[in-house]
A and B are shown apart, each in its own frame.
Chain A
Amino acid sequence: MIGSRATRALTKRELIRQTRQPSRIIASIATPLLIWLFIVGGFSNSIGDVAQSDATIGAYTIPGMASLTVMFASIFASISLIQDRQDGVLRAALVSPAPRWSIALSKIGAGSILALLQALIVLLTLPFLGVTITPIAILGAIGGLACISIALIGLGLALAWMVDSTQGFHGVMNAILMPMWLTSGAVFPVENAAGWLKVIALINPLTWTHTAMRSSLGMDTGFNPTLAWIISIAFAIFGIAIATFAISRPTKTKA
């Protein structure tokens, strides 16, 4: 099938590209780890106990830091679409017989693989913070992170398809993604938040992916884990759908 062969080749291309730019991978991991150090070192006393959970604030915020790592990696993956367009690489794919969804799927696939490898490094700090993790718990957390990366890369690709410059893309992504992450309970338990913030958190799909991850890691969040997984998977499917739709639309001109 022409689409699957093209998807595999384009995914491999993305992975080769990333391994030849190690600074990007380091930046994606280093920033969340620094933020985590500031939060745990500077605010743990003011945040106090983590409600509904036996975990320390350090351990509780690790899934949030892993999702931040995924978010940065997803932004890089989406930006690569703009760079491909500027470098001309995208044109060769667009004039080939390969279906356009193969471009979207390869970006999502390669971006997610890289994002999850980076997030895994962050998650592997949990045993050092007193959290016992089993392979199944790690698989669950990776599943939650996969939902985040697929959804965010999909959203990013749809947006990158519409904007011409990386500067414009950064602006819009920061305006959308940072508030989404901050209101998702990544660094605070949602049930302790103010009423208005709790409402925002509940309609934020990232809150539910964090819930799904934390429940996999044995952290009680006070929310229904099954509902969290359903919303997380739906969020990922939405990401694939919106990216495929945006990239597959033909360029029509006026009569």
Chain B
Amino acid sequence: MSAIELQDIRVTYHTKKTGDRIALDQFSLCAGNEMLALLGPNGSGKSTLLNVIAQTITPGSGKLIAPISRKSLSVVFQTPALDQLLTVRENLMVAGALHDLTKAQTQSRIISITTELGLEDRLNDQIRHLSGGLARRADLARALIPHPSVLLLDEPTTGLDIDARRVFWETLDRTRSRLQMTVLIATHITDEAEHADRVIMMRDGQSVKDDTPSNLKATLGDRIVRITLENESDTEQIAKWLGSNQIEHIISDRLVIGHHANASLASSCPVDSASITIAPPTLADVYTYYAHTPISSPGTGALS
């Protein structure tokens, strides 16, 4: 049985200002023991999907088949869900009680998990006295206390510097392989999605593309051509030029991405002011190509 399975989930929010907005549109997902990344800009439906799986919102239609209860899952949010005035140990004791663990069970897990996460010396520190990176690790420890079989992470490294981000990912990788968890990460950072076994690209509450990071990049060939135009009026000329070179492409505002490009293409570009790059594709290129919008721009359909 899959650890996460959803069928045709539809979530619509209603606000007085904007009326009905579809956050998830007939979304289906099946995941086993793997690490999945939901990649998309703000408003693409990632957080809503996590809320549906965590059973904090009830979808308007569709079926959540697994997980069937909240006992087997934990969530790491964009900001640590820890009480700033409590110590790391006190926060973790609360986390254990929320999952109906006895004091003895929680205490033994606190020792093993904080040792693994390098927090054993900070157990008696209040959260407000920890750095951002340490607070994140403490929050990860909170989520691991119940030994979940499904771990949901919503933009877990927002606000962290590069070093803290690296340590977070190393810790997560290590823990995941030990606990054999299904991990689902919502992120708009393509580098983070590279860590995943599988990436689901989302836009406006729908899955745009779903595959391994390497397979996704392979769909655009060895090299892509990435053109940034100064004037939108040049797009027509660029489109003609790429067409004459048999390069399939998409245009998103002033950004043009074409795939299976050859290295000598740049020299014949007809627009002098264009910034042109020919390089192996990244997940950001793949996202822009299939979602027809850059990953950095907000989506249009969902409320996060």
User: Interface of A with B (CB < 8 Å)?
Assistant: 2, 5-6, 8-10, 12-13, 16-17, 20-21, 87-98, 250-255
Contact = CB atoms under 8 A, between A and B. Distances in A.
B86 A17 contact: yes
Interface string B48-88: 00000011111111000000011101110101111111100
Nearest to A13: B94
Contact of B100 (A5, A89, A91, A94): A5
B12 A255 contact: yes
Nearest to A8: B97
A92 B85 contact: no
Nearest to A98: B98
Contacts of A8: 97
Interface in B1-46: 10-14, 20, 23
Contacts, number: 101
Contact of B82 (A5, A89, A94, A250): A89
B93 A89 contact: no
A251 B75 CA distance: 18
B50 to A, nearest CB: 9
Given A9-B93, A97-B70, A252 B98 contact: no
20 contacts: A2-B100, A5-B100, A9-B96, A9-B98, A10-B94, A10-B98, A16-B86, A88-B77, A91-B75, A92-B75, A92-B98, A93-B98, A95-B54, A95-B74, A96-B95, A253-B12, A253-B59, A254-B13, A255-B10, A255-B60
Contact of B73 (A12, A16, A94, A95): A95
Interface in B124-178: 126, 142, 146
B90 interface: yes
B57 A252 contact: yes
Nearest to A251: B57
Nearest to B23: A253
A87 B69 CA distance: 25
Contact of B83 (A2, A13, A255): A13
A13 B14 CA distance: 35
A93 B143 CA distance: 11
B97 A6 contact: yes
Contact of B98 (A12, A88, A97): A97
B122 interface: no
Contacts of B86: 13, 16-17
Of the listed residues A9, A13, A95, A252, the one surrounded by the most CB atoms of chain B closer than 10 A to its CB is A95
Interface in B182-223: none
A96 B58 CA distance: 16
B94 A254 contact: no
The 3 closest A-B pairs by CB, nearest first: A9-B97, A255-B60, A92-B81
Contact of B13 (A93, A253, A255): A253
B51 to A, nearest CB: 8
A10 to B, nearest CB: 7
B99 interface: yes
A224 to B, nearest CB: 43
A88 B81 CA distance: 5
Contacts of A255: 10, 12, 60-61
Contacts of A254: 12-14, 20, 60
B79 A88 contact: yes
A95 B54 CA distance: 6
Contacts of A95: 54-56, 70, 73-75
A250 B58 contact: yes
Contacts of A88: 77, 79-82
A143 B57 CA distance: 39
Contact of A92 (B57, B84, B93, B95): B95
Contacts of B11: 253
A80 to B, nearest CB: 10
Contacts of B146: 96
Contacts of A250: 57-58
Nearest to B55: A95
Contacts of B69: 97
Nearest to B76: A92
